[in-house]
């Protein structure tokens, strides 16, 4: 489906694409087939796609997997897909917000067949969905997604690098990540202003995490990376308020520094210098304390905005 065909189709249905929804459609059908195969899609799979767009990747997936369920939030696109009969018979189109669907219920429908997420993720939902997939890692074969290259770099960054942040730590502890391809803006309509990467993520075979620990690590790292330019004790000050409620501020700081020293973390370090395993050790040291909900997320907002960690 070339650009002129896309424009004509959108025009017939009076559709205008939304930057808020991060709508950048893949236009190269051959590339879509290549990415579907490199993502590991095969006959017998139940594939879930987020962001149907006009179905270029959807049709590629349907040509390989037995069953595809694709989710599209834009009602106008759903109407166009149905009116133009753009999707094969083995595709189920769902009009929904992917952040609100019952993922575990859908996975259960597979009845033991491999379940994969393969998608050109809308920029606006990429980071929250990547986080959701980590919670579902025990139930998915893998998840392969097109995301902004800057977001992809956050998944594989090393401590000390600018891209290293809370999302990095969570992925390093829970999953393995492989960058399958980098995709130029010219392969999309409309062309985004950033480069994109197609990454495959799968559960880490020997993850050190125990039940509930990923959320505990997230609470600590999101708080700390909210002030990534300062020493780790600054970002964890609110954590210390909840963990040591009976202490005055100087005593709380001393208690926090003692806790950090216990697990081998220098209190003077910036968050970006702390290894993922050290964050896990710190979460275990705080086990049993009320740390409150996760905070901050490094000041990133949605992926539609700047994705640098700040």
Question: What pLDDT is stored for residue 123 in this prediction?
Answer: 85
Structure tokens at 92: 């189920």
- Give percent of the chain above pLDDT 90: 84
Which domains are assigned to the chain? Answer: 3-203 (3.40.50.150), 213-299 (1.10.8.100)
Q: Is the pLDDT of residue 59 over 80?
A: yes
Q: What residues have CB less than 8 Å from 145, skipping those under 6 apart?
A: 117, 118, 119, 120, 121, 126, 129, 130, 198, 199, 201
pLDDT score recorded for residue 294:
63
List pLDDT tens digits, range 210-257.
998 999 999 999 999 999 999 999 999 999 999 999 999 999 999 999
Question: Is pLDDT of 276 > 70?
Answer: yes
Whether 118 and 19 have beta carbons less than 8 Å apart is answered as no
CA distance 128 to 70: 18
pLDDT in tens, 166-219: 999 999 999 999 999 999 999 999 999 999 999 999 999 999 999 989 999 999
Q: Mean pLDDT throughout 17-24?
A: 80
Mean pLDDT of 9-27: 86
**pLDDT at residue 307 in the model:** 34
What tokens appear for 306 in the block?
């700047």
Q: What are phi and psi of 116, to 5 degrees?
A: -130, 140
* pLDDT surpasses 90 at 306: no
């Amino acid at each position: 489906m070339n650009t002129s065909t896309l424009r004509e189709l959108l025009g017939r249905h009076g559709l205008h694409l939304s930057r808020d929804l991060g709508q950048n459609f893949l236009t190269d059908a051959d590339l879509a087939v290549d990415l579907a195969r490199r993502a590991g899609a095969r006959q017998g799979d139940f594939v879930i796609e987020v962001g149907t767009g006009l179905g270029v990747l959807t049709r590629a997936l349907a040509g390989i997997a037995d069953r595809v369920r694709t989710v599209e939030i834009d009602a106008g696109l759903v109407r166009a897909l149905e009116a133009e009969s753009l999707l094969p018979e083995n595709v189920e189109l769902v009009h929904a917000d992917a952040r609100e669907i019952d993922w575990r219920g859908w996975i259960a429908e597979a009845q033991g067949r491999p379940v994969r997420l393969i998608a050109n993720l809308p920029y606006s939902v990429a980071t929250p969905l990547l986080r959701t997939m980590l919670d579902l890692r025990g139930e998915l074969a893998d998840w392969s997604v097109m995301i902004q290259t800057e977001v992809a770099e956050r998944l594989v960054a090393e401590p000390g690098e600018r891209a290293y942040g809370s999302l990095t730590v969570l992925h390093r502890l829970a999953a393995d990540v492989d960058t399958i391809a980098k995709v130029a803006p010219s392969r999309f309509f409309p062309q985004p202003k950033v480069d994109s990467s197609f990454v495959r993520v799968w559960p880490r075979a020997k993850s050190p995490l125990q039940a509930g620990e990923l959320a505990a690590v997230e609470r600590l790292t999101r708080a700390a990376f909210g002030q990534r330019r300062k020493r780790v004790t600054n970002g964890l000050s609110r954590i210390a308020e909840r963990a040591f409620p009976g202490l005055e501020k100087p005593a709380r700081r001393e208690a926090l520094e003692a806790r950090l020293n216990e697990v081998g973390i220098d209190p003077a370090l910036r968050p970006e210098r702390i290894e993922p395993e050290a964050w896990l050790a710190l979460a275990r040291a705080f086990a049993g304390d009320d740390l409150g909900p996760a905070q901050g997320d490094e000041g990133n907002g949605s992926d539609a905005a700047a994705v640098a960690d700040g």
